């Protein structure tokens, strides 16, 4: 479980996060949604420790992360898997080397154990046999799956995905969402996905946190979201013609 309390983050005069509270449960995919610039990525980075919030606390299974020194943070970081926006693979490394990289840094596994683990993770994301390919030889969806394979290589307790569907076609997006959901169940990890993809929200939005101008405007499930009477949320959710049409069939 991850709990955040009263998170504030500014960049100069730009007060980006204005006191965010939330609880993210294990074994469940939680979504952070909101318009561009609403602070989603900033919040995710505050949670994983890539940004230091000026105020507020982040607890990983009741351990207070924000005030830990860098040595103590390593023990939590080992349990974190992260899929970055644009996958952030190392272009000069093969698929296998990309996955083994984290195992080299954080484990004392033998070479064979690391390769076996890489093979297991690649099989899990349906990319068996791609070990020797370079990122430039992969499609966008394949890169995301390598990013996921890398994120799960250390059997994470906490899985973070920033825009896992950006740039993917709807069918591939659904496969990625299903994969993230399955892995969350398998590892019982606490998973947080940042997205503005309404298909994902409707597909896997069991718990949704809606940010607007750096504030938590609303939280709930996708079903509750469709019925919610919050103008800022409705403007976001029903912005596309498809969702507008869906709303008319619901009413
Ligand atoms: N490293 C940074 N330095 C300065 N300002 C930043 C930095 N990162 C984010 N910001 C600012 O914080 C605000 C929120 O940015 P953030 O990236 O969190 O938005 P977002 O909700 O993820 O948007 P998007 O959907 O476009 O990815 C923006 O005004 C942005 O300019
Ligand atoms: Mg972002």
Q: What is the Cα–Cα distance from 217 to 10, expressed in whole angstroms?
A: 18
Question: Of the bound ligands, which one is closest to the alpha carbon of residue 16?
Answer: 1
Superfamily of 1-79+189-251 according to CATH: P-loop containing nucleotide triphosphate hydrolases (3.40.50.300)
Residue nearest to atom 16 of ligand 1 (CA): 39
Q: How far is the CA of 41 from the centre of ligand 2 (A)?
A: 4
C-beta neighbour count of 187 within 10 angstroms = 18
Residue-range domain boundaries for the chain: 1-79+189-251
Q: How far is the CA of 34 from the centre of ligand 2 (A)?
A: 9
Which of 220, 211, 233, 239 shows the shortest CA–CA distance to 41?
Answer: 211
Mean of per-residue pLDDT scores for the chain: 93
Tokens 């906490």 identify what position?
Answer: 158
Tens digits of per-residue pLDDT, 45-91?
999 999 999 999 999 999 999 888 888 888 899 999 999 887 889 99
Structure tokens at 125: 């994301």
Run of H or E residues at 76:
helix 70-77
Residue 48 contacts residue 34 (beta carbons within 8 Å): no
Q: Which region holds residue 30: left if phi is over 0, alpha if psi is between -120 and 50, else beta?
A: beta
Distance set, CA 46 to CA 17, 21, 50, 59, 193 (Å): 10, 12, 6, 12, 14
Q: Ligand 1 atom closest to Cα of 194?
A: 22
Tens digits of per-residue pLDDT, 189-200?
999 999 988 999
Using pLDDT thresholds of 50, 70 and 90, give the confidence band for residue 104.
very high
């Amino acid at each position: 479980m991850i709990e955040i309390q009263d998170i504030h983050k500014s960049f100069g005069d730009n007060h980006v996060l204005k006191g965010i509270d939330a609880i993210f449960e294990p074994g469940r995919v939680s979504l952070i949604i909101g318009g561009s610039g609403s602070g989603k990525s900033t919040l995710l980075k505050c949670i994983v420790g890539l940004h230091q919030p000026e105020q507020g606390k982040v607890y990983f299974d009741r351990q207070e992360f924000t005030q830990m020194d860098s040595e103590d943070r390593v023990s939590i970081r080992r349990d974190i898997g992260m899929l970055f926006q644009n996958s952030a693979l190392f272009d000069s490394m093969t698929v296998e080397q990309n996955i083994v990289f984290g195992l080299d840094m954080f484990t004392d596994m033998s070479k064979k154990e690391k390769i076996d683990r890489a093979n297991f993770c690649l099989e899990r994301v349906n990319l068996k046999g791609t070990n020797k390919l370079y990122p430039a030889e992969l499609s966008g969806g394949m890169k995301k799956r390598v990013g996921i394979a890398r994120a799960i290589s250390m059997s994470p307790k906490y899985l973070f995905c920033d825009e896992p569907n950006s740039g993917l076609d709807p069918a591939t997006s659904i496969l990625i969402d299903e994969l993230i959901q399955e892995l969350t169940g398998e590892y019982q990890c606490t998973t947080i996905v940042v997205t503005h993809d309404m298909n994902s929200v409707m597909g896997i939005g069991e718990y949704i946190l809606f940010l607007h101008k750096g504030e938590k405007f609303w939280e709930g499930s996708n079903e509750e979201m469709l019925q919610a009477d919050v103008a800022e949320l409705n403007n976001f959710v029903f912005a596309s013609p498809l969702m507008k049409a869906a709303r008319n069939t619901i009413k």
